[in-house]
Amino acid sequence: MYSRIKRLLKQKLIQRYTIDVNDKELGYSVKSVTGINMDSKRRNTIIDELFKIEGVREISEVTGRFDIMITMYAKSLNDMHKVVSEKIGKIDGILGSESFIEMKRRTKPMPYMPE
């Protein structure tokens, strides 16, 4: 097994080892994907400020009606509301946002990940 993993690492098919944390068990039961429109001249500063916010996990620059999409977690809807309105909304250069709260998640494994 070790030699196979070593070979896959060398071929760059595996980039890193990780664990999958159960956010709900840790009390983070609300997940949001938030689309942000921003002043593109302040892109790096805005992204740096967003990563300082507790609960912000991932930021993706995207095509479409938003400039970036943020994945974040909170312990309650009220906490999520505070993050969006009191923290994200006050970052200089953010022009607007729209949040999408995850109601239910369904996943399927990638074809290279057997169940």
Residue 56 pLDDT grade (very low, low, confident, very high; cuts 50, 70, 90):
very high
* CATH number, domain containing residue 48: 3.30.70.920
pLDDT 10s digits, 70-111: 999 999 999 999 999 999 999 999 999 999 999 998 988 877
CA distance 59 to 61: 7
Tell me, what's the pLDDT at 113? 66
Instruction: Give me the sign of the Cα torsion angle 114, 1, 8, 22.
Output: positive
Tell me, what's the pLDDT at 114? 61
Inside any domain, residue 111: no
pLDDT 10s digits, 23-48: 788 888 899 999 999 999 999 999 99
Inside any domain, residue 54: yes
Quick check: helix, strand or coil at residue 34? Answer: strand
Q: Which domain holds residue 83?
A: 30-101
Inside any domain, residue 75: yes
